[in-house]
Amino acid sequence: MGQSSSEYKFLHIGATVFKVLAWVALVLQVVMGLVLLVGGGPAVLIGGVDVPARVVGILNCIAAAVYFFLFTLASAVIRLLLDLHAHVTKTG
């Protein structure tokens, strides 16, 4: 793993960045979604349609879950590929 860790250090960092981004996106979007859901506010213009702020809050919480899933998936795929490479080079 000596060669692999130095050769693919950028990918290790990238996987960690995706994991951190997943948690940051989840926390910030859920907080903003709850603020909009509880506080309400004026309607938001989305695609030419006025959408109530509470609905935008719900959509924000759903988007938080989607972003969390996608960023976590990206991190897991990178780590899987790194582990696969380490296994293949070690046994091959």
Domain span including residue 64 = 1-25+52-92
Please indicate, yes or no, if residue 39 is contained in any of the structural domains.
Answer: no
The listed range with the strongest mean pLDDT (2-6, 8-12, 74-78) is: 74-78
pLDDT range class, residue 72, cuts 50, 70, 90:
very high
- Spatial neighbors of 60 by CB under 8 A, at least 6 apart, are 29, 30, 32, 33, 36
Residue 47 included in any domain: no
Q: Is residue 34 part of a domain?
A: no
Specify the number of domains making up the chain.
1
Contacts of 70 (CB under 8 A, 6+ apart): 22
Q: Is residue 85 part of a domain?
A: yes
Query: What's the pLDDT at 1?
Result: 45
* Residue 4 reports pLDDT greater than 60: no
Q: Look at residue 77 and tell me whether its pLDDT is greater than 70.
A: yes
- Tell me, yes or no, whether 77 lies in a domain: yes
